[in-house]
Amino acid sequence: MEVQVEALARAQSDTGQTVHVVTGTPDRGPGADVSFPFAVHRVRASELRGLLTSLRPDAVHIHVSVVSPFAWRAARITGELSVPAVLTVHSMWDSPVRLLYRTIAALGRWRRGLVVTAVSTPVGRQVAKALPGSVRIMVVPNGVDTGRWTVDAAQRTRGGAEFHVVSVGRLARRRQPMALLRVLRESHARLSPGVGMRATIVGAGPRRSAMKRYLRRHRMDGWVDLVGAHDRAGVHRVLSTADAYLNVTGREAFGLAVLEARCAGLPVVARSTTGVADFIEHGREGLLGRRLEDLVDQLTRIGRDGLLRERIAEHNRSTRPTTCSWPFVLERLQDCYDQAAELAWTRADDQPRTDKETRWRPLSTSPASPGATSYTCASGSPTALPPASPMTSSAQRG
């Protein structure tokens, strides 16, 4: 979530919007936030009301994974102040989480007038089961600079005739890294000896030691490389050497690394029940399977069938996923901000002002006024937390 929030804040800043990012994550040291093209506010939850009152934003975009007291404090305060607010859910909500939110709604604690978005269709379905029926859930995908991840012919550096599989992600239990190794192992066994296979896994995390033991135990360390965490340039270089991308995570809310691999032209093998299916169609951008056994079948198939692999790769290289491009995503989000403004204005007009409450209309002169200021509140690490637009009332729509 943090990576996407930072990218969103940068994309909105690039359109001329004034962005304020708010996080409860402590300061990382002098100069840590200087490189950001937006203001970063590191505050305690108790300071949110004062900050909002000072900034007078035209919209607040709240980002949440599962449960975040900081984010929900922001949601409640924006409701009390009648500030337009959009809440984006970045994670799958399983049964216990849905029960929690249904309880919140039943107790009348749900923040009315909040525009809710989900990063994928599966996330949207789960959120819809948890919130009151009157809440409309809109799917707004994560964004990516599609051109940045393109790998042209000059950059492609395949070495040898082996089928090279790449996977990128944190080596944590929820990402199922051990299942990743099992899929690789079984597919390798099926392809041998006719097709040579090697794999590169990019990422760091607490499961790395267990993965290394598994590789040694099953004699996979000669063809599977754990190369550690890479920056974006490093990931791009690894993708330029690959023939296919594998993602086995069963609770993938969106799959930003998968999208980046697809933009790099790689055929994708992933789960059909996750957010990946929103931008990977089976047989076109990649091959999908419901269970781990299905992923073994599909990875083996694409490893063995060079014509299929090249057809999918050529499609991915020649077409870009426009619905995940920043122009499309920013336009969809602006529609959400406009809708939130209309809801907030209506709610503010319907509720009498009390001595204990401070309410204001945005500095812009109409709910859809483009140039208005946006302020983003989110929970998570310091490196990200998104959007907003200018505090002027006459800017062009971004």
CATH of the domain at 58: 3.40.50.2000
Pair (203, 301) in one structural domain: yes
Pair (159, 289) in one structural domain: yes
Pair (99, 215) in one structural domain: no
Paired with 61 in beta bridges are 86, 376
The residue segments making up the domain with residue 58 are: 2-143+325-378
Q: What is the pLDDT of residue 349?
A: 56
More confident residue, 395 or 330: 330
Pair (138, 179) in one structural domain: no
Average pLDDT over residues 314-320: 96
Pair (188, 90) in one structural domain: no
Q: What is the DSSP string of 270-326?
A: EETTSGGGGT--BTTTEEEESSHHHHHHHHHHHHH-HHHHHHHHHHHHH---GGGBH
Pair (132, 202) in one structural domain: no
Q: CB–CB of 263/105 below 8 Å? A: no
Residue 390 lies in a domain: no
Residue 387 lies in a domain: no
Q: CB–CB of 130/98 below 8 Å? A: yes
Q: What is the pLDDT of residue 394?
A: 21
Average pLDDT over residues 249-274: 97
Pair (351, 284) in one structural domain: no
Please report which confidence band the pLDDT of residue 22 belongs to, taking 50, 70 and 90 as the band edges: very high
Chain mean pLDDT for the chain: 86
Please report which confidence band the pLDDT of residue 154 belongs to, taking 50, 70 and 90 as the band edges: low
Residue 394 lies in a domain: no
Residue 383 lies in a domain: no
Residue 302 lies in a domain: yes
DSSP H helices, the chain, are: 2-14, 48-55, 69-81, 95-106, 121-130, 177-191, 208-217, 232-239, 256-263, 292-304, 306-318, 326-350
Say how far apart CA 87 and CA 24 lie, in whole Å: 17
Paired with 225 in beta bridges are 200
Q: What sign does the CA torsion over 22, 331, 341, 254 have?
A: negative
Q: How many CB atoms lie within 10 A of CB 297?
A: 18
Please report which confidence band the pLDDT of residue 240 belongs to, taking 50, 70 and 90 as the band edges: very high
Q: What is the pLDDT of residue 380?
A: 40
Per-residue pLDDT tens digits for 108-124: 777 778 999 999 999 99
Please report which confidence band the pLDDT of residue 397 belongs to, taking 50, 70 and 90 as the band edges: very low
The distance of Cα 306 from the centroid of its chain, to the nearest Å, equals: 31
Please report which confidence band the pLDDT of residue 351 belongs to, taking 50, 70 and 90 as the band edges: low
Contacts (Cβ under 8 Å, ≥6 apart) of 353: 359
Q: What is the pLDDT of residue 155?
A: 72
Q: Which of 248, 305, 303, 254 is nearest to 275 (CA)?
A: 254
Per-residue pLDDT tens digits for 290-309: 999 999 999 999 999 999 99
3-class SS of residue 173: helix
Q: CB–CB of 370/395 below 8 Å? A: yes
Structurally, the chain folds into a number of domains equal to: 2
Pair (47, 85) in one structural domain: yes
> pTM score, two decimals?
0.86
Average pLDDT over residues 358-375: 40
Pair (250, 102) in one structural domain: no
Pair (137, 153) in one structural domain: no
Pair (156, 264) in one structural domain: yes
Per-residue pLDDT tens digits for 189-215: 999 889 999 999 999 999 999 999 999
Say how far apart CA 390 and CA 85 lie, in whole Å: 16
